[in-house]
Amino acid sequence: QVQLQESGPGLVKPSQTLSLTCTVSGGSISSGTYYWSWIRQPAGRGLEWIGRIYASGSTNYNPSLKSRVTISVDTSKNRFSLTLSSVTAADTALYYCARVKMFGVIEYYFDSWGQGTLVAVSS
């Protein structure tokens, strides 16, 4: 049973860069059938997909965040990471990492989730 665990600072100052890591256990991040994704949820609000990465390093990002987001993967440590630059209070949210199960050529869903980590943007 795969498990995902987010880690990183819980507080980031405005205009700085948010950095989070998701460590995968119980399975290899290099497993060919999965992508790996970041999703966030502002307090009391819905889910927003941030982006995804394949073990090869291939990425797809939400167009609304693309200019500020980078997702990277470290297969040797079985983990992947999120950086979000120039953060504002609007980036305050619970950040989840998730495993992406492909469903067809381009469709997919999220079949395993981390517990989430709260990141607040404040001075």
Partner 1 sequence: QSVLTQPPSVSAAPGQRVTISCTGSSSNIGARYDVHWYQQLPGTAPKLLIYGNSNRPSGVPDRFSGSKSGSSASLAITGLQAEDEADYYCQSYDRSLSGSVFGGGTKLTVL
Q: Nearest distance from residue 108's CB to partner 1, in Å?
A: 7
- 34 CB neighbour count, 10 Å cutoff: 22
User: Residue 15 and residue 89: Cα distance in Å, rounded?
Assistant: 10
Given candidates 3, 16, 60, 83, which one binds partner 1 under the rule CB under 8 A? Answer: 60
Q: Nearest distance from residue 86's CB to partner 1, in Å?
A: 21
Please give the size of the binding site for partner 1, defined by CB under 8 A. 27
DSSP 22-71: EEEESS-TT-TTEEEEEEEE-TTS--EEEEEE-TTS-EEE-TTTTTTEEE
Residue 63 touches partner 1, criterion: CB under 8 A? yes
Q: Nearest distance from residue 91's CB to partner 1, in Å?
A: 17
Q: Which residues bind partner 1 (CB under 8 A)?
A: 37, 45-49, 51-52, 60-63, 96, 101, 103-104, 106-116
